[in-house]
Structure 1
Amino acid sequence: MRELTQTEAIDLVGRFEAEQEIPEQMRADVRMLGTLLGRVLRESGSPGLFDDVERLRIATIHAYTDETPEAFARAAAIADSFTVERADEVARAFTAYFHLVNLAEEHQRVRILRERDGRPDKERATDSVAAAFVRLSAEVGDETALAHLQAMRFHPVFTAHPTEARRRAVSSSIRRLAGLLDEHEASRRNGADERRAERRMLEEVDTLWRTAPLRPEKPSPTDEVRAVMAVFDETLYTAVPHVYRRVDDALQGPAAGGRAPVVRPFVRVGSWVGGDRDGNPFVTASVTRKAAKIASEHVLLGLERTTSRVGRNLTLDAATTPPSDALISLWQRLKAADEDAANDIAKRSPDEPHRRILLLIARRIEATRERNADLAYRDPEHLLADLRVVQDSLVQAGAARQAYGHLQQLVWQVETYGFHLTELEVRQHSAVHAKVLAELDAAAPGAARSELAEEVLDVIRTVVFLQERYGPRAAGRYIVSFTRSAEDLANVHRLARYAVGPDGTPPVLDVVPLFETFADLQAAPGILAEIVEHPEFAARLDATDRRLEVMLGYSDSSKDVGPVAANLALYEAQAEIAAWARASRIELTLFHGRGGALGRGGGPANSAILAQPPHSVDGRFKLTEQGEVIFARYGDPAIAMRHIDQVAAAILLASAPSNEERNLAAAERYADVAATMDAASRERFFSLVKAPGFAPWFARVTPMEEIGRLALGSRPARRGLSVESLEDLRAIPWVFAWTQARINLAGWFGLGTALETVGDEALLQRAYGDWPLFRTMIDNVAMSLAKADDRIARHYLELGDREDLAALVRDEMALTRSWVIRVTGGTELLGNKPVLQRAVKMRSPYVDALSLLQLRALRSLREAPEGAPVDPEQQRLLLLSVSGVAAGLQNTG
């Protein structure tokens, strides 16, 4: 097949871009960034690189729009024609392009958010906390709605699960480019400023191109802690109080800022980074202590600087704003403890009592960070008490706007983050606890303990240490993965007694069961009913007003029985656990162990929340946030605020009587549909994964083994077993590998058969409209399938030399695609979600280019003689393409 002429190529690309209906401002950003990258490729790439990139780009667009075997073969032939060195450069070029397109798309989202914020209230988002409050009030009354709002909790937990394929150095370059893109937009009215901004952007794009896209080695757990700290420093520290402020402004109207806020802090940030040791031998008790220390240093430095800044601006004269008696008393106490500094501050602010107090408080926060026992605050509650003295004094003096302005945001920051920043959680496998207890129970008095036993006990001692140093919220949740009996949970309390001894300080532990597999989810209610009778559990329930947290794993259950059966099992487990908790007078928090990809519970969080069973949310929602999801949701302040606002709105509305009644009625109405789908999808899934030789076939037709060599995170990709068994393969490489092969099997396999077995198209369309759980499942599968590609998937599947399994996968993909389109009532996938459809279509041909490069590398590696050394150049090309495809699809694990 001949190559297109230049005129035909220009026309093809123009038509392709026009069909995507990209907003003009975003189109201009993409065009500008692409032009800058092209210039960099000409200046910094090897001779002819730009032309080769263009050849492949045009060929893949042609193959995507033409859909003929000849067009696809032509694109594949171009990819195969490159030398390994040139293929390496081309892969890097397409990956850089995706980073720039993702940036332009993010910038467009921020632009839209800013425009929306500038509109009148009635034109603003209908899925905000303020809008949700109005809707809830209409159902339950203002007083009850306010009680719901003030008791609400959103608890994201950042994890170090290795799903972020790009290096931190690359992420930093992209963030700098984001700032320059803002500057460029602001400079468009001035030609000289615009040219200067473009020059600086060109420099940064050149830096991005020259930065090695692959990490040379795996990050350490401490590196992962610092990566998460960057998100806190750059975004969350200021974004969270801004969310509170926006909600309060919306609810109080003109009175906001002039009286006490009605909003109470509803965000709590958790972290597994440095605490999750399930299958990660590199996370030790020492690492956990370091993680807590780093987090505390970051938040205390932030509080110190904020307090100092608020204090410096609080230049209120005593004549206009007289201090209260309590403020004068506080000054005397602070002065006695820090006399030289107090005298110096008094000289510089002789008649500004509120300013003087805050500047001394800033010094005490600094002393807390530096562990200066003479001045340090014992805990955040004492700091809050001092800040409230200042606040009350301002109110009494008639300066309410100063009391509830920037000072209130500081109060919110202390209430949200304390001195610990993130509530650090420990996780360990139940089998490890059982093994250590068996050793300890059998050991003679004084006998030496194994290294594993000492480490497990030292972790519990570390929890005690962190609680004493940073406060009770700093640590205390102990998650037991693969909880399969009440004994698995009681074992943690037994270990605690060994750890501290009869005279030691017992840790305050909230032992959290993690139910992961299909069988574990079904057994969960019985296990919970048994464990709450255990003495330590019962005592902890009494101490916390009968609060209990239960974690549900989305990943292993999906790998266990397939995505359809897992989703239905998770819903049923939540419903049963919630009913048990209500009957037992327990305040339940369900902790959702969701990943970024759809095979691991990913997808829009707000729609998932609104589809939960009645009373399974009750104003509290906790979930894991990991890898690329952390930076996608929290990397930009405007997007972070929007995400938190949307999720909080869904949490508030989930408990609305109308929402709970709808979910309950739908679950009852479509119970037979659910049962049919469950059985049919599970049977279909087992026909694949339980087929003889499936595990090695899976490893051959995907880059699963190679993904394990990517330096994504500190944790190993598997729990120590080979690909002869999938049982202990972690869910992340399971999902990641199928995504890379453009199959996305973990997100949809079995749904087509399930829908076909139900067979009633009209019934399924009604379910799509009436049943939130079903609608969420269908929408997520539509997105998963839209990112898959049968043409490319076929070539991956051919690598396995198992036509029976390949046909099974391709037939189910076609069946699922057909049924999803019919159920949603459209003519193509995502037809009812045009913005999302545009984003997928815009990227697809460029992802195809990287997939073709990955295929050639994978074929070379698979065709090598058994026992031959791995070709390092082909392996590097494959890993480069993995990073690029992840950037293009914006999903890994």
Structure 2
Amino acid sequence: MSTPKNTSTGDVVGRHEAEQEMPASMRGDVNLLATLLGQVLRESDSPGLFEDVERLRTATIAAYTDTTPEAFDRAVEVVESFTLERADEVARAFTCYFHLVNLAEEHHRVRSLRTRDLEVDFPHKRGALAEAYAQLVEELGPEEASEKLQGLRFHPVFTAHPTEARRRAISTSIRRISGFLTDLESLSAAGTEAARVKGNLIEEIDTLWRTAPLRATKPTPEAEVRSVMAAFDDTLFTAVPNMYSRMDGALKGDIEAGYTGPVVPPFVRVGSWVGGDRDGNPFVTAKVTRTAAGIASEHVLRGLEQVALRVGRNLTLDGETTPASDELSALLASLRNKDEDAATEIAMRSPNEPHRHAMLLIARRVAATRTRNADLSYSDPEDLLSDLRIIQESLVSAGAKRQAFGTLQHLIWQVETYGFHLAELECRQHSEVHRRVLAELESGKPLSEQATEVLEVFRAISFIQDRYGKRAAGRYIVSFTTNAEDLANVYKLARAAVGPKGTPPVLDVVPLFETFDDLQAAPGVMNEIMVDPLYAARLEETGRQVEVMLGYSDSSKDVGPVAATLALYEAQQKIAQWADDNDIKLTLFHGRGGALGRGGGPANSAILAQPPHSVDGRFKLTEQGEVIFARYGDPEIAIRHMDQVAGAILQALAPSNEKRNWDAAAKYAGVAQTMEDASRAHFFELVKAPGFAPWFATVTPMEEIGMLALGSRPARRGLSVESLEDLRAIPWVFAWTQARINLAGWFGLGAALEAVGDLPILQEAYREWPLFRTMIDNVAMSLAKTDDRIASEYLALGDREDLSALVLNEMDRTRSWVTKIIGGEELLSNKPVLSRAVKLRSPYVDALSLIQLRALRALRNAPQDAETDPEVQRLLLLSVSGVAAGLQNTG
């Protein structure tokens, strides 16, 4: 694949303009990677492949800039001219290109972040949290601002929802290519070392090209656990303490940083549903849950052991210059008694180095904790923290403050954040499953396999808590909570699992309100559950802390994205008021997906748009699939993301932000009601139309998406496509995305805006109402990735002109209103970086969409009793993977 030349032909002008908007360094990376990919394609064993890729590339670029039917038809003709084998190869080539462009963009982001850190005068160098804290000090005063800072909590929860379309082998290859790009930056272009690195680079790109892009089989839940562990091992374990250190420096100043005790609390807690979420996934068993907890603990203890060893080896402080405190001397004596042989050996190698001596013995105890050596292991993380703080305080008293608050403080932060469990494993199950099991228990008949398994889960939670600590597992989420009994049932089942003489696990039962009706009923349900004796007892044990989860995905599928957004805002308002009335310390858990139709989008702007007191210093959300690796796959990006989120959480506490949201909600309440009613009515006109569900399955690759080996979880709760109720929200969003319609992210907004009808009022709302602004910006992003002509081709597969017209007319209407509200001539005119990224990819995504359409037509036009052509099916799945890479999201 070559880079475009600036010629007079229309096929390259649009692409050239998008490329010229790139920063020079990023443009250089894209050109280099594209040129090397082109060389790989030329060297392939498939004659003419490079030329065919170029034919399609130039045709789709021409069609992107020339909107005439003739230009589009020429691109279609190129795709139709390919054999199935050639179409397969071309789809893989474009997919490789997307992986490389995505890599170049990420690489540029990291480079920009590092450059900013070196620019002394960069206006936001201090970071988002430091800026937000300064605002709190100004508005609340230093004492109250400090109190708010100490209560800060950010709690991302990693899930195994199947939204990462690329294989782990592909991700690993991309990481290696990124490493070679980094190496190349520090070398002279003409040097021999640069030539060596370029050789490695093209070899790795060739490997990427030759690696099968599709998984042969679905991953097991255990494999999903190990895949998510990569984010901890490669990034989060070290990024989190580095982030705390940077924030501490920003708040105290570089001189004080690392010399005095930290100001920033260890505010990150990481959760995981991977291996714990069994709602609709029969492959997640109690055994899997135990295994998941064991894998996570093994990873964190191994990491803590290595850090403790490194800290100990570096603490070569002589006892004369840095004497041990009495407490440290007592600790050393205790450690020697537990591990006499090792203590003697360390003393011989490190005479009169008490802090080093103690730290190395602590490292051995951490290792013993991992290997289950009962004589030497720590009983819990607090036991280890106590020892570490004795060393820290001894260093401070001896004047070695840099050693006390340097790498040793990093280790303390890691233990505080991750404990011995790494991620707090959460279990989730559907409320209906609990009802069925309780009915079986009451019947007195032999238990079914499902009932036995449900009870075994509670025993697994007890086991995990006993072995890894209470924080390791304890939250139990009830999907589709409709009433207080759904929550009380969990405590009944936990008691039944251990019998009358056993002790049930310590559980915080978390309701998940998902549908529109359930969101409206949420405050009443919470009022009712508070009188349940078991729930009330746990409430007092936690200091009246309550967690409530809100489902973005199913509510959007239930009433449409606009009505769902407004209903979620209203639910949060009412739940926050309920918490305030009942002296509850509330944490709202946002079940957000990566795609805009599932509550996705920039987290910091979403936080600032929440109702007053609904965040209150604590923000918890789900992170899944491609989002995990986009936000946490690189240390610099992860630190930047967490800093922005933390800053937004603090800023949301500022009286000025709360007043802005209060005032806007009151001022535009009528606008909100009009929008909600109109959008929901128009959404129902579509999804409740007779025959909508099978039509949807025909005009999108919804059925075929279920064939992709994305995750262990089934794509549907049931088997029928006659109803959307059993279809999970992920394939609902994924399918519309693949069809270049993105309907789940915007449908109904055009009708809502037209119902309001007052452009000046809507433009004013965009300036003053954070929730509305976030909604409009997210829809603009979603619509920018749509394509009318390609969407029309997909919709034509269904032979329902009435439904197709509904979709296309609403797309046009929504785009028109959003563009006018934002101001400018096109979508994203106020977001140039995002606009550039979309324009850069769109013609290439079009190429894969046309290949997908060819495959989809062949499948839809085949006789019903004919066997599916495996080559056509493979081509379709390849194109699905490629489009996901090009659009950078799935479900």
TM-score, length basis structure 1: 0.98
Asked if 2 retains the 8 angstrom alpha-carbon contact of 1:279 and 1:715, the reply is yes
1:392 to 1:53, Cα distance in 2 relative to 1, 3 A: same
Match of 1:106 in 2: 106
Q: Deviations over 1:700-724 (max 9, x none)?
A: 0000000000000000000023111
Quick one: distance in 2 between partners of 1:804 and 1:124?
51
Runs of 4+ deviating beyond 3 Å = 5-12
- 2:803 paired with 1:802: no
Quick one: distance in 2 between partners of 1:727 and 1:370?
47
Quick one: distance in 1 between partners of 2:9 and 2:676?
49
Asked if 1 retains the 8 angstrom alpha-carbon contact of 2:687 and 2:693, the reply is yes
Match of 2:25 in 1: 25
Asked if 2 retains the 8 angstrom alpha-carbon contact of 1:17 and 1:842, the reply is no
Map residues 218-233 of structure 1 onto 2, 5 A cutoff.
Answer: 218-233=218-233
Question: Which amino acid in 1 is paired with 2:130?
Answer: A
Asked if 2 retains the 8 angstrom alpha-carbon contact of 1:187 and 1:197, the reply is no
Q: CA deviation at 1:189?
A: 6.0
Match of 1:698 in 2: 696
Deviates further, 278-287 or 324-333: 324-333
Specify every segment of 5 or more residues in structure 2 that has no aligned partner in the other structure, as ranges: none
Match of 1:130 in 2: 130
Match of 1:265 in 2: 266
Match of 2:402 in 1: 401
Quick one: distance in 2 between partners of 1:13 and 1:47?
25
Q: Deviations over 1:634-664 (max 9, x none)?
A: 0000000000000000000111111111001
Asked if 1 retains the 8 angstrom alpha-carbon contact of 2:6 and 2:13, the reply is no
Question: Which amino acid in 1 is paired with 2:395?
Answer: L
Question: Which amino acid in 1 is paired with 2:670?
Answer: D
1:255 counterpart SS class: coil
Q: Deviations over 1:229-273 (max 9, x none)?
A: 001000000000111001100111121211111111000000000
1:144 to 1:179, Cα distance in 2 relative to 1, 3 A: same
Q: CA deviation at 1:119?
A: 1.6
Quick one: distance in 1 between partners of 2:221 and 2:489?
26
Quick one: distance in 1 between partners of 2:391 and 2:549?
41
- 2:856 paired with 1:858: yes
Q: Deviations over 1:683-707 (max 9, x none)?
A: 1000000000000000000000000
Quick one: distance in 2 between partners of 1:665 and 1:409?
42
Map residues 676-755 of structure 1 onto 2, 5 A cutoff.
Answer: 676-755=674-753
Map residues 379-418 of structure 1 onto 2, 5 A cutoff.
Answer: 379-418=380-419
Quick one: distance in 2 between partners of 1:165 and 1:122?
37
Question: Which amino acid in 2 is paired with 1:96?
Answer: C
Question: Which amino acid in 1 is paired with 2:202?
Answer: L
Q: CA deviation at 1:195?
A: 1.0
Quick one: distance in 2 between partners of 1:9 and 1:174?
35
Q: Deviations over 1:605-635 (max 9, x none)?
A: 0000000001000000000000000000000
1:189 to 1:207, Cα distance in 2 relative to 1, 3 A: closer
Map residues 315-714 of structure 1 onto 2, 5 A cutoff.
Answer: 315-443=316-444, 448-714=446-712
2:319 counterpart SS class: coil
Q: CA deviation at 1:370?
A: 0.3
Question: Which amino acid in 2 is paired with 1:16?
Answer: R
Q: CA RMSD in A?
A: 1.2
Q: CA deviation at 1:122?
A: 5.3
Match of 2:299 in 1: 298
1:19 to 1:272, Cα distance in 2 relative to 1, 3 A: closer
Q: CA deviation at 1:7?
A: 8.9
Match of 1:148 in 2: 148
Quick one: distance in 2 between partners of 1:434 and 1:791?
48
1:473 counterpart SS class: helix
Deviates further, 425-434 or 531-540: 531-540
Asked if 2 retains the 8 angstrom alpha-carbon contact of 1:116 and 1:123, the reply is no
Quick one: distance in 1 between partners of 2:190 and 2:52?
36
Match of 1:314 in 2: 315
Quick one: distance in 2 between partners of 1:11 and 1:799?
30
Deviates further, 37-46 or 764-773: 37-46
Q: CA deviation at 1:453?
A: 1.1
1:514 counterpart SS class: strand
Quick one: distance in 1 between partners of 2:779 and 2:470?
42
Match of 2:881 in 1: 883
Quick one: distance in 1 between partners of 2:722 and 2:188?
59
Q: Deviations over 1:271-308 (max 9, x none)?
A: 00000000000000000000000000000000000000
Q: CA deviation at 1:11?
A: 7.3
Q: CA deviation at 1:17?
A: 2.1
Q: CA deviation at 1:127?
A: 5.9
Match of 1:167 in 2: 167
Q: CA deviation at 1:196?
A: 1.1
Q: CA deviation at 1:805?
A: 0.4
Quick one: distance in 2 between partners of 1:218 and 1:685?
34
Map residues 2-81 of structure 1 onto 2, 5 A cutoff.
Answer: 12-13=11-12, 16-20=15-19, 21-81=21-81
Match of 1:279 in 2: 280
2:471 counterpart SS class: coil
Q: CA deviation at 1:67?
A: 1.2
Asked if 2 retains the 8 angstrom alpha-carbon contact of 1:364 and 1:377, the reply is yes
Q: CA deviation at 1:580?
A: 0.6
Quick one: distance in 2 between partners of 1:418 and 1:105?
35
Question: Which amino acid in 2 is paired with 1:267?
Answer: V
Quick one: distance in 2 between partners of 1:308 and 1:602?
41
Asked if 2 retains the 8 angstrom alpha-carbon contact of 1:9 and 1:58, the reply is no
Quick one: distance in 2 between partners of 1:166 and 1:837?
24
- 2:874 paired with 1:873: no
Question: Which amino acid in 2 is paired with 1:306?
Answer: V
Quick one: distance in 1 between partners of 2:307 and 2:442?
52
Q: CA deviation at 1:68?
A: 1.1
Match of 1:90 in 2: 90
Asked if 2 retains the 8 angstrom alpha-carbon contact of 1:556 and 1:731, the reply is yes
Question: Which amino acid in 2 is paired with 1:626?
Answer: Q
Q: CA deviation at 1:18?
A: 3.0
Quick one: distance in 2 between partners of 1:196 and 1:381?
49
Question: Which amino acid in 2 is paired with 1:537?
Answer: Y
Asked if 1 retains the 8 angstrom alpha-carbon contact of 2:93 and 2:209, the reply is yes
Deviates further, 12-21 or 86-95: 12-21
1:320 counterpart SS class: coil
Q: Deviations over 1:825-870 (max 9, x none)?
A: 1110000000100000100000000000000000000000112111
Say how many residue pairs are matched.
886
Asked if 1 retains the 8 angstrom alpha-carbon contact of 2:304 and 2:366, the reply is yes
Quick one: distance in 1 between partners of 2:832 and 2:235?
29
Quick one: distance in 2 between partners of 1:9 and 1:38?
22
Question: Which amino acid in 2 is paired with 1:18?
Answer: E
Question: Which amino acid in 2 is paired with 1:520?
Answer: D
Question: Which amino acid in 1 is paired with 2:559?
Answer: V
2:690 counterpart SS class: coil
Q: CA deviation at 1:10?
A: 7.0
Question: Which amino acid in 1 is paired with 2:108?
Answer: Q
Quick one: distance in 1 between partners of 2:17 and 2:763?
32
Q: Deviations over 1:570-602 (max 9, x none)?
A: 000000000010010000000000000000000
Question: Which amino acid in 2 is paired with 1:123?
Answer: P
1:513 counterpart SS class: strand
Asked if 2 retains the 8 angstrom alpha-carbon contact of 1:563 and 1:599, the reply is yes
Question: Which amino acid in 2 is paired with 1:690?
Answer: K
Quick one: distance in 1 between partners of 2:646 and 2:12?
41
Quick one: distance in 2 between partners of 1:132 and 1:162?
35
Quick one: distance in 2 between partners of 1:378 and 1:469?
9
Quick one: distance in 2 between partners of 1:6 and 1:491?
66
Q: CA deviation at 1:188?
A: 3.0
Q: Identity of counterpart residues, as a percentage?
A: 71
Asked if 1 retains the 8 angstrom alpha-carbon contact of 2:553 and 2:598, the reply is yes
1:550 counterpart SS class: strand
Q: CA deviation at 1:87?
A: 0.2
Question: Which amino acid in 1 is paired with 2:605?
Answer: S
Quick one: distance in 2 between partners of 1:206 and 1:147?
55
